[in-house]
Copies of this chain bind each other. A is one copy, B any other.
């Protein structure tokens, strides 16, 4: 018995995973983390109204969710001044990126992203046989001009850009993105990943016509709305593109309580304002912790801060390992020269206290190894 016959594409795929989750790391180390600051989760927590709505929904979890996410799409459309036909709701941005890549990328098709940008996007591209073309960051920012040039050169079907960026936390102003959209080559689609847009300064989100066929924007309830566990994201695009998701998506894939919770979170604008204020405080605190240790923190328009450890990638990896060994879960960029940094998610004071305590010991230990 030889077992099932996988496709050639699947046989060629590595058995890697985009990220190791914190629970997996906890099991490997045999102890829980005392601070969870590695996955850009929002430890300030979801809206109490969202929690109440999900609690009320749980007794009704015997029902499938609404296959059209009608109420949530209606609310988002109204606030954004678009129509529900411009919106698809999916299982987080990760799920939507998977569907989008599947819609566009056949084996050998070119896709452009930045070296060191979101690995889960690369995972989906590889998973459908696409060929990734990468450009470097420029001064710790994703580089719109280089992305466009590479797309033109490679004939790419897709360009991926996160604004604000992950893992560096840097951002471009709206006008830069608007100019970039106007340079998107014919037949190329720009994915504008706005997972962190709720943390960015007002005016960071570009003005893009809802029917513009050159861009699809992705947003999530995982970050600003603190509902990463709920798995709710949405994409904004021209209706012809949005409709195509119906050809491939898991129509009954949305968790029902999550749909209801996301809607309640979306409508609780006061809570989002509280989150933003708490993040401003936490961002300043991490910046100060870095400074207290003689390090430089990157400016950030997200719910995390990249802290330059002042050495090379090996030094930062050593610092990271020492911090994690003290029970503080953080992550770091994968690629040089961004991998001179560690990445610390914003979180409540007690978690940042744990980071503040761990950092000097980690720096000392890492320095002793040089």
Identify the A interface with B (CB < 8 A).
1-10, 13-15, 17-24, 27, 36, 39, 41-46, 50-51, 54-55, 57-68, 70, 91-92, 94-95, 98, 102-106, 109, 120, 127, 157, 186-189, 212-214, 222, 226-231, 238, 240-241, 243-244, 246-248, 250-258, 261
Contact = CB atoms under 8 A, between A and B. Distances in A.
Contacts of A186: 1-2
11 contacts: A1-B212, A4-B188, A4-B241, A7-B102, A10-B102, A10-B244, A45-B59, A45-B62, A54-B58, A62-B226, A94-B250
A344 to B, nearest CB: 16
A255 B253 contact: no
A231 B247 contact: no
A227 to B, nearest CB: 5
B10 A252 contact: no
Tell which of A9, A15, A253, A255 has the most Cβ of chain B within 10 Å. Answer: A255
Tell which of A3, A39, A222 has the most Cβ of chain B within 10 Å. Answer: A3
Given A187-B2, A213-B2, A253-B92, A247 B19 contact: no
A19 B67 contact: yes
Given A227-B62, A253-B231, A106 B46 contact: no
A10 to B, nearest CB: 5
A229 B257 contact: yes
Nearest to A188: B4
Nearest to A4: B189
Closest 6 A-B residue pairs measured CB to CB?
A229-B256, A3-B213, A21-B67, A61-B229, A4-B189, A62-B226
A44 B51 CA distance: 24
Contacts of A60: 229
A229 B253 contact: no
B58 A24 contact: no
B247 A68 contact: no
A256 to B, nearest CB: 3
Tell which of A54, A120, A213, A214 has the most Cβ of chain B within 10 Å. Answer: A54
Given A95-B253, A238-B3, A253-B94, A64 B21 contact: yes
Contacts of A15: 243-244, 246-247
Contacts of A102: 7, 10
A104 B6 contact: yes
Contacts of A21: 64, 66-68, 251-252
Nearest to A230: B61
A17 B251 contact: yes
Contacts of A17: 67, 246, 251
A248 to B, nearest CB: 5
B187 A4 contact: yes
B46 A62 contact: yes
Contacts of A58: 46, 51, 54-55, 58, 257, 261
A62 B229 contact: yes
Given A21-B66, A36-B63, A106-B8, A254 B231 contact: yes
A188 B4 CA distance: 6
B252 A94 contact: yes
A54 B8 contact: no
Contacts of A6: 103-104, 244
Contacts of A103: 4, 6-7, 10
Nearest to A126: B247
